[in-house]
Amino acid sequence: MQDEPKEDRQELVAKALAEAEALCAEKKVRLTRLRRLVLTTLLSSDCPTKAYDLLEQLSGEGLRLTPASVYRSLDFLIELGLVHKISSLNAYVPCTCHHKNIASLIFICSDCQQVKEINDPELYASMRSRFNELGLDLDDNSIEMRGKCKRCANGVHK
């Protein structure tokens, strides 16, 4: 949700939260206050967010927070396909592929850490097939790739 004007960002966050609520109702699970706050914080962020940064940001919300409660909330959101863990950064980002809980390709700028997600089932299947040919199996439904975003490549973020 980077590069969005503040008003547009608020609308996108509200829409994403409504979609999350609908998904939870469909799955007959609860989007608790903490889960909602974690998701809102991730949706509002310009970059991948670490669990302990979430803990710090949410500490003023009147909740008794522990690292375990934040991690449990993140696990719940990941299970529903609402959030992705960026393993190489040990951080989290909201899913931008409409929560289909399907394979994603995640591109990370090695300079500014900006994350872009795309869903290309054919490309993902091809990559998974090549892994299998090499005798390897992918651990999860996302593949992380690094490079430079156009802004960093053009020296704008430096």
pLDDT tens per residue, range 107-145: 999 998 889 988 888 888 888 899 899 998 877 777 899
Query: Amino acid identity of 137?
Result: D
3 state DSSP class of 108: strand
Q: Where are the domains of the chain?
A: 6-94, 104-153
Nearest by Cα to 110 from 154, 152, 155, 156: 152
Task: List Cα–Cα distances, 105 to 3, 35, 102, 112, 118, in angstroms.
Answer: 20, 25, 10, 18, 5
Q: Is 48 within 8 Å of 86 (Cβ atoms)?
A: yes
Nearest CA among 143, 132, 76, 140 for reference residue 104:
143
pTM comes to 0.84
pLDDT digits (tens, 9 = 90+) for 61-77: 777 899 999 999 999 99
Which CATH code fits 6-94?
A: 1.10.10.10
CATH architecture of the domain 104-153 equals 2-Layer Sandwich (3.30)
